[in-house]
Every structure is written in C-alpha cells, then in structure tokens.
C-alpha cells in the first residue's frame, strides 16, 4: 500500500509535467506548422548556399511530410526549455540545497550547449560539407538530391553535434563526482583525441569534412570540461 501511495504521489506530478510540456509544444509548433513550407525553404537556404544542388521528391508525400517533420522538430527544439523547466520543477523538491546549486546550472548549460552544437551543424558544417561535395563533382553533372535524404543528412548532423557538445558537462561531472580524476584524463589525452576522430567517423556522414568538423570541436570541448573541473577543484 505504501509503495502504491509513493507511486501515485510521483505519477500525478509527472503527468502534470508532461501535460504542460505538451501544451507548450502545441502553442509553439502550431504557428510553425502553418508556415511549414516557408520555414523549410528559409532553413534550406542556410545549408544550400550558392550550390547547384536541386532538391527533388521521389515520393508523392515527401513534399508535404518533410517540411511538416522539419516544423515539428523545430517546435520541439524551441519547446525544450519548457521541458527542462518542468523536469527541474519535478526533481527540485527531492534535492538538497547543495545539490540544487549544481543541478540547475547543469540543466541550463546542457540546453545551451545542445543549441550551440545544433546551430553549429546547420550554419557551418552542413554548408561546408555540401559545398565540398559539389566542388568535387564533375562539371557536367547536375546534383539532384531527394528531399528525404537531405532531411536525414541535416538532422543526423544536428543531433550528432548537439549531443557531442555535451562533453564538457560529462567530463566535469565525472571529475566532480570522483569517478575519475583530472590527472588520469590528462594522461589519457592521446587516446581521447583518437576517440574523438573515431566518434566523428561514426556519427557523421562518410566525408572527411564532417568528420574533422566534429572531431576537432569534441577535442576542444573535452579540454574545456577538463579545465573547468580543474578550476572547480582548486
């Protein structure tokens, strides 16, 4: 009976949290969905600058579904602060005062780093990768990419960079919680750099530009997390 009461006490706030996030998501996503076609054209202009690539739709529903998916994803990304705020309200009552001091900044910083990684992928990495592919193509070749493959290419890069930019927080928390020391990580730097390039190879499309553009920031982000942990220790 006590276990059922404990479960009920936690499920009700969780249900309320998800409901508030759903309402916030609908309020944000509905206007974007209404202008899904225009929004997709605007975003594509950032990743396809001055290229001879033509987007085509080989499926009847792709011309409608891909802009809709892009609008839904954009709405979710914009609504992420609402989700993080609801998560904070859900877990805050169960935290001690000293735990609140670092959990809240970690949530905020993690959200900002994800936005930075996704924005870096869309505004810099995607245009450079696409420009590289078009530059090495034969001059008599007209590149025509299916809109579905283009969507997958951009979204995969966004997610890869967004998640990878969380490395400073992971490094900081590992050291802060005593799971590993900063000295050990410093000694393992050559292996970590090699691992960054392996991750870049696995998470990005099979081109050198995207892999380097992910591996180098991963290394720099690791160094920033290590530096912050050392500074916090002192």
Domain end marker among 148, 165, 182 = 165
* Rounded mean pLDDT, 8-21: 71
Does residue 220 share a domain with residue 110?
no
Note whether 200 and 134 are same-domain residues: no
Domain that holds residue 197: 168-234
- Look at residue 6 and tell me whether its pLDDT is greater than 70: no
Whether residue 146 sits in one domain with residue 206: no
Query: In the prediction, which pLDDT does 205 show?
Result: 63
140 by Cβ neighbours in 10 Å (0-12 / 13-18 / 19+) ranks as: exposed
User: Do 184 and 159 sit in the same domain of this protein?
Assistant: no
Element (H, E) at 167: helix 167-176
Q: Which pLDDT value is given to residue 8?
A: 60
Residue-level pLDDT at 1: 46
Say whether both 19 and 111 belong to one domain.
Answer: yes
Please name the helix (run of DSSP H) or strand (run of DSSP E) that holds residue 58, with its range, or none.
none
Average pLDDT, the chain: 79
- Note whether 129 and 187 are same-domain residues: no
Q: Which of 34-38, 157-161, 210-214 has the lowest mean pLDDT?
A: 210-214
Q: Are residues 149 and 57 in the same domain?
A: yes
Give the long-range contacts of residues 178-187, CB within 8 A, separation 24 or more.
Answer: 182/226, 182/229, 182/230, 182/233, 185/226, 186/226
Report how many domains make up the chain: 2
Span 64-89, mean pLDDT? Answer: 86
Q: Which of 115, 146, 165 is the last residue of a domain?
A: 165
Transcribe 77-140 into DSSP letters.
HHHHHHHHHHHHHHHGGGS-HHHHHHHHHHHHHHHHHHHHHHHHIIIIIHHHHHHHHHHHS-TT
Q: Buried b vs exposed e over 53-80: b needs ≥16 C-beta within 10 Å?
A: bebeeeeeebeebbbebbbebbbebebe
Q: Are residues 18 and 82 in the same domain?
A: yes
What is the pLDDT, as a whole number, of residue 233? 61
Handedness of CA 86, 92, 94, 95 (dihedral sign): positive
Residue with tokens 């590149």: 143
Distance CA 42, CA 45 (A): 5
> 28 with 135, same domain?
yes
Kindly state whether residues 150 and 205 are assigned to the same domain.
no
pLDDT at 129: 78
101 plus 196 within the same structural domain: no
Report pLDDT digits (tens) over 217-227: 778 888 777 77
- Residue 103 is predicted with a pLDDT of 78
pLDDT in tens, 86-122: 777 777 777 777 777 777 788 888 889 899 888 888 8
pTM for the model: 0.78
Measured between alpha carbons, how far is 164 from 120 in angstroms, rounded to an integer? 11
């Amino acid at each position: 009976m006590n276990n059922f009461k404990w479960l009920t006490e936690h499920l009700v706030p969780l249900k309320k949290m998800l409901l508030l996030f759903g309402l916030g998501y609908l309020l944000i996503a509905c206007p974007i969905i209404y202008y899904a076609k225009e929004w997709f054209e605007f975003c594509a202009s950032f990743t396809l600058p001055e290229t001879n690539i033509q987007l085509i739709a080989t499926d009847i529903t792709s011309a409608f579904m891909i802009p809709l998916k892009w609008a839904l994803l954009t709405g979710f990304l914009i609504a992420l602060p609402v989700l993080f705020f609801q998560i904070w309200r859900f877990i805050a009552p169960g935290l001690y005062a000293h735990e609140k001091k670092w959990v809240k900044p970690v949530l905020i910083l993690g959200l900002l780093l994800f936005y930075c990684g996704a924005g870096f992928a869309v505004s810099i990495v995607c245009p450079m990768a696409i420009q590289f592919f078009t530059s090495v193509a034969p001059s008599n070749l007209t590149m025509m990419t299916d809109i579905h493959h283009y969507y997958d290419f951009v979204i995969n890069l966004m997610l890869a960079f967004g998640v990878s930019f969380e490395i400073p927080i992971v490094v900081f928390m590992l050291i802060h919680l005593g799971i590993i020391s900063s000295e050990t990580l410093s000694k393992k730097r050559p292996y970590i750099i090699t691992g960054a390039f392996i991750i870049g190879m696995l998470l990005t499309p099979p081109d050198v530009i995207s892999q380097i553009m992910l591996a180098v920031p991963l290394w720099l982000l690791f160094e920033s997390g290590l530096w912050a942990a050392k500074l916090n220790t002192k």
